[in-house]
A and B are shown apart, each in its own frame.
Chain A
């Protein structure tokens, strides 16, 4: 259940994301070594304050991604509003303007599928609360590539449909509460 040599963590969240991420990111200590890529569904026309907000609360570095941002350890990367976030290779993140996926840009599926392509088995994907089905194809791709999938227990999620849709496509995923996810990440990172 613990991947041998994870190189990155990807996280997707929608409705209830702020509270869920607050139980995770600020609990990681400064010596957490992995990069974390995060997609949260946010309205396209707004300047996002997520990165600023979590930077103030967290010991790891937190930034909003610009195109071709280098991937560094101990850093959380937030997708900016109205752009998809993709892992280009093990050193670089990319953004695109392609059409929304399941009405979402950024899309969790797009991030997770690109992470599966680049990292294969060496990635941990975390699908959190949400009121839609984004991320389900993504966790499927991660699992198929041999990566590890963690899904927030729908019973404890603010909105259950996203974790439920993820579990439907990825029934072998590890199901954890937010505290469990935080503890898991602290162990692997």
Chain B
């Protein structure tokens, strides 16, 4: 029966992901199949390869293919104060707890272009917590980290960012934090004073500090269940006692092997608290 054999394209995809891992140590092997398939088909079409195997051959022999493929394989979609209710909950419900600590560590895991990072730094500055906080912003995509570090965005995105910031209960005007020119806005360099940018993979890297809050939203939706369990386990082990974990609006720990290690802290906004330990 033909159905018992794997489809050729599925084999090609597995081989390409294996090749990327062996050659460059980028591990997408446990990414969610549905979306990885879509994006590799897109890459194949747009980069002009006849097959995914042909793309694999190039990726193995030509290092300049890696950043191009990463552009497809890592999804960079974010906005500042995305889901304002989440940031309002951090501000009104989580911050009062964080205030009781003399020093704080916050991890923005999968920080992409930095939109969520700057949202949290601004929120912490507004709440008077910035000076006692270190923010760790990590991603596997070097290009994304560079964009995050630069803090420069297209001016046409700023209206949405401003609206979101207001809805999140912002105590200042977002325009206090950037200057505009040449169709771009550039966020205040001092927002980076307390930030450590770093290349870190939720797939292959380990715990690097004891965090009070980890924000990792719409990153794990690209992982399969095995990898999600690894990432959530890593977050659990990285959190201080009673530390907080915020995930995306349509993500859930309900289906995780580590669900019992967390309690729902703000159910509606997907903010969890580490229990036990």
Query: Do A and B make up one complex?
Result: yes
**Complex contact A113–B38 (CB within 8 A):** yes
Q: Report if B34 contacts A (CB, 8 A).
A: yes
Complex interface bits, B220-235 against A, C-beta within 8 A gives 1, otherwise 0: 1110110010000000
Contact of A96 among B222, B224, B252 (CB under 8 A): B222
The SS class assigned to the A binding surface is: mixed
Give the residue name and chain of the A residue nearest to B42 (CB). Answer: A98
- Shortest C-beta distance, B40 to chain A (Å), equals 12
Q: Report if A120 contacts B (CB, 8 A).
A: yes
**Complex contact B34–A117 (CB within 8 A):** yes
Number of A-B contacts (CB under 8 A): 65
A96-B221, A99-B77 known; A68 vs B228 contact (CB < 8 Å): yes
A68-B225, A95-B221, A97-B77 known; A86 vs B252 contact (CB < 8 Å): no
18 contacts across the A-B interface (CB closer than 8 A): A67-B251, A68-B228, A68-B252, A80-B250, A87-B34, A88-B33, A89-B33, A96-B222, A97-B75, A97-B248, A98-B35, A99-B77, A110-B38, A113-B38, A114-B38, A117-B34, A117-B37, A118-B34
- Shortest C-beta distance, B119 to chain A (Å), equals 16
> For the complex, what is the distance from the CA of A94 to the CA of B225, rounded to whole Å?
10
Which of B's residues lie within 8 Å of A, judged by CB?
A: 3, 32-35, 37-39, 75, 77, 218, 220-222, 224-225, 228, 248-252, 254-255
Q: Report if A66 contacts B (CB, 8 A).
A: yes
Q: Which chain A residues lie closer than 8 Å to B254 at the CB level?
A: 66
> For the complex, what is the distance from the CA of A124 to the CA of B92, rounded to whole Å?
47
Give the residue name and chain of the B residue nearest to A83 (CB). Answer: B250
- Shortest C-beta distance, A137 to chain B (Å), equals 12
**Complex contact A94–B32 (CB within 8 A):** yes
Q: Report if A70 contacts B (CB, 8 A).
A: yes
**Complex contact A97–B34 (CB within 8 A):** no
> For the complex, what is the distance from the CA of A84 to the CA of B38, rounded to whole Å?
12
- Shortest C-beta distance, A121 to chain B (Å), equals 9
Complex interface bits, A168-184 against B, C-beta within 8 A gives 1, otherwise 0: 00000000000000000
Q: Report if A92 contacts B (CB, 8 A).
A: yes
A67-B220, A89-B33, A114-B34 known; A96 vs B75 contact (CB < 8 Å): yes
